[in-house]
Amino acid sequence: MSKDRPPLFDFSAVSRARSRAARLAGDRFLDAAAIEGLADRLAAVVKKFERGLWIGDAVPFEIATFAREWVCADFDAHEVLTCGGGFDVAVSLFSLQGINDLPGALVQVRRVLKPDGLFVAALLGGNTLAELRDAFGHAETLTRGGVSPRVSPFADVRDVGGLLQRAGFALPVADVERLTVRYGDFFSLARDLRAHGFTNVMTERSRSSLRRDTLAALLAHYAQVHAEDGKLKARFETIYLTGWSPHESQQQPLKPGSAKSRLAEALDTVEQKAD
d(CA 99, CA 102): 6
Question: What's the CATH number of domain 11-247, 1.10.630.10, 3.40.50.150, 1.10.8.50, 3.40.50.280?
Answer: 3.40.50.150
Mean pLDDT on 61-72 = 97
Q: Where are the beta strands (DSSP E) in 35-127?
A: 49-55, 67-73, 87-93, 113-124
Distant-in-sequence, close-in-space partners of 232: CB < 8 Å, separation ≥ 6: 131, 182, 183, 184, 185, 186, 189, 222, 223, 226
If pLDDT is split at 50, 70 and 90, which confidence band does 273 have? low
Provide mean pLDDT across the span 88-112: 96
Which residues 6+ apart lie within 8 Å of 162 measured at CB? none
| Residues forming beta bridges with residue 125, ordered by sequence position | 155
pLDDT tens per residue across span 157-206: 889 989 999 999 999 999 999 999 999 999 999 999 999 999 999 998 88
pLDDT band at 130 (very low <50, low <70, confident <90, very high): very high
pLDDT tens digits along 197-239: 999 999 988 888 889 999 999 999 999 999 999 999 999 999 9
Enumerate the domain spans of the chain: 11-247
Q: Give the whole-angstrom CA distance, residue 194 versus residue 172.
A: 32
